Amino acid sequence: MPRKSLADARRLFRARKFSEVIRLLEPEVFRNRESHEYFSLLGFSCLQTGDLGGATSYITRAHQLKPGDTNALLGLAAIHLKKAETENALKRWLEVLDAQPNNAIARRGMNMLRKGLSRDGVQELIDSGKIRQLYPPLPSRSRAAWALAAALLALVVLGSVFLALRLTRAPSNARPGVSSVEIPPDLPKLTEDGAAPGHALTERQVRQSFQKVKSELLAYHDNLAILEANRLLLSNASLPVKERARVLKGFAIRPSFTTIRDSFPYSDVAKEPALYDGCAVNWKGKLANLSVGEQAISFDLLVGYEKEKELQGIVAVTLDFPIQLENGIPLELLGVIASGDGRVVLRGISIHRLGQ
């Protein structure tokens, strides 16, 4: 990862913008498999946002890269406590106290366990938010940061007033560039052939579909925008229209578990994979046929079979980042659909082990 990206993640983490840290760092996991700071920032951000599966994977990796890091140990202890694994939490806190006998967070956790913290007590800690007192300490915000935050707040207030005054007169364009992609009036809208079965459109429908792609993008419904763009690409729309649809499709942003919207069920995708090409989905299932290579990991996801009750289908998955996996584990997968040869194939973005 470029130093600037890691510096940006450090700044966002200091500002408590944990979801933004995850969005910035998660796509770069494979490139940073030996960076302790990278996995620490990503793991602690997942912990702060409640992404327990991601926190487990990333903080464990940070601990592997630097076993003596007390913050990683505190993070693992907090994860164990959230899972009501008190003995494992105790073990981690003892490791912290061996290195730092006066560590206040580890001592606080030990004292809670000495008082007989029950499973209900753990849940109460989680529900009340007090469990954050046992998380690794966050970096302090400098005076300069507070001054900047105050200045930004003032700008936000002024901006809100300005926008409120203009809202009824000017439409919002949250994504610069989207509105500028247009179909000129004199551009041919249709071609004589080239439509997939069931996707023939009239000229009016082409215009409506094109506008819908733009509207969904401006509303940050990226999956719905990609779906509508694919309808145009599969239709009898002219080549210039399809090229513009591809341009709009390129505005979509790769999501994370915390930002994905409008996921699609496997049953819909399996009926026509090409219609969902490039869409992100969040599916649960069981892992099978695991193969670990030097540059990628591949396996089959038995969709819907995480509780061994209903097998909806089998999907080939590839990962370009390292993660510890075993055959037979139930998991939740975030991935992007690649409709090769009429099959549903997923390029994995992130994985959560279920039950963790």
* pLDDT computed for residue 258 by the predictor: 80
306 lies in some domain? yes
The H or E element spanning position 298 is strand 297-303
| Range in 149-153, 206-210, 327-331 the model is least confident about | 149-153
Q: Give the burial class of 58: count Cβ atoms within 10 A of its Cβ; 0-12 exposed, 13-18 middle, 19 or more buried.
A: buried
pLDDT-derived band at 214 (thresholds 50, 70, 90) equals very high
Tell me if 226 is assigned to some domain: yes
Q: Say what the pLDDT of residue 147 is.
A: 47
What integer is the mean pLDDT of 160-166?
43
pLDDT band at 93 (very low <50, low <70, confident <90, very high): very high
Q: Give yes or no: residues 295 and 325 share one domain.
A: yes
Task: Note the pLDDT of residue 71.
Answer: 95
Quick one: 248 and 276 in the same domain? no
pLDDT tier for residue 50 given thresholds of 50, 70 and 90:
confident
* Rounded average pLDDT over 16-27: 88
- Here the CATH number for the domain that contains residue 100 is 1.25.40.10
Residue 19 lies in a domain: yes
Residues 122 and 9 in one domain: yes
30 and 79 assigned to the same domain:
yes
Domain holding 331, by residue range, is 266-353
> In CATH, what number is assigned to the domain containing residue 340?
2.40.50.140
Classify each residue of 253-288 as buried b or exposed e, where b means 16 or more C-beta atoms within 10 Å of its C-beta: eebbbbbbebebebeebeebbebbbbbbbbbbbbbe
Asked whether residue 176 is domain-assigned, the answer is no
Domain shared by 96 and 15, yes or no: yes
Position 294 in a domain: yes
pTM recorded for the entire structure:
0.55
Whether 215 and 282 map to the same domain: the answer is: no
State how far the Cα of 53 lies from the Cα of 329, in Å rounded to an integer. Answer: 13
Same domain, 106 and 192: no
Count up the domains in the chain and report the number: 3
Mean pLDDT in the chain? 84
Claim to verify: residue 14 and residue 119 sit in the same structural domain:
yes
246 and 270 together in one domain? no
Residue 299 and residue 325 share a domain: yes
18 assigned to some structural domain = yes
Q: Is residue 172 part of a domain?
A: no
Q: Can you state the angle between helices 86-99 and 104-114, rounded to 10 degrees?
A: 140
Q: Which of 40-54, 123-137, 180-194, 302-316 has the highest mean pLDDT?
A: 302-316
pLDDT reported for residue 168: 35
Question: Domain end: 73, 104, 134, which one?
Answer: 134
Tell me: do 274 and 325 sit in the same domain: yes
pLDDT over threshold 60, residue 150: no
Same domain, 230 and 272: no
Binned at pLDDT 50, 70 and 90, residue 3 comes out as low
Domain termination residue (choose one: 253, 287, 306): 253
Query: Does 160 fall in a domain?
Result: no
Greater pLDDT, 15 or 172: 15
Which residues have a Cβ under 8 Å from the Cβ of 209 and sit 6 or more positions away? 201, 228, 231, 232, 235, 237
Distance of CA 100 to the CA centre of its chain: 34
